Chain A
Amino acid sequence: MNHQRRDTLKAGGGLGVLGLLVAAGLVRPEMAEAAWNKTAFEAKTLDAAFAGIGAAKPAESADVVITAPDIAENGAVVPVGVVSNLPKTEYIAIMIEKNPNMLAASFSLPEGTMADVQTRVKMGQTSDVYAVVKADGKFYMSKKEIKVTLGGCGG
Chain B
Amino acid sequence: MANPMRIRAAVKEGVTEVRVLMSHVMETGQRKDSSGALIPAHFITELNAKHNDKVVLNAEFGPSVSTNPYLAFKFNGGAKGDKLAVTWVDNKGDTRTDEVQIA
Contact = CB atoms under 8 A, between A and B. Distances in A.
B89 to A, nearest CB: 8
Interface string B26-69: 10101111110111111001100000001111111111111101
Main secondary structure of the interface of A (DSSP, over half): mixed
A117 B30 CA distance: 27
B59 A122 contact: no
Given A9-B34, A13-B37, A16-B37, A99 B73 contact: no
B93 A26 contact: yes
Interface string B66-100: 11011111111100000000000101110000000
B72 to A, nearest CB: 4
Contacts of B37: 13, 16-17, 20
**A interface bracket (residues with beta carbon within 8 Å of B):** 35 or more
Contact of A41 (B58, B60, B93): B60
Contact of A113 (B26, B41, B56, B63): B56
A114 B57 CA distance: 10
A120 B44 CA distance: 13
Interface of A: 9, 12-13, 16-17, 19-20, 22-23, 26, 29-30, 33, 35-37, 41, 76-79, 81, 96, 99-110, 112-114, 116-123, 152-155
Given A41-B62, A122-B28, 12 more contacts: A12-B35, A17-B37, A23-B42, A102-B64, A107-B59, A110-B54, A114-B15, A119-B65, A119-B71, A121-B64, A122-B67, A153-B28
Nearest to A36: B45
A114 B73 contact: yes
B91 A30 contact: yes
Contacts of B93: 26, 29-30
Contacts of B62: 41, 101, 103-105
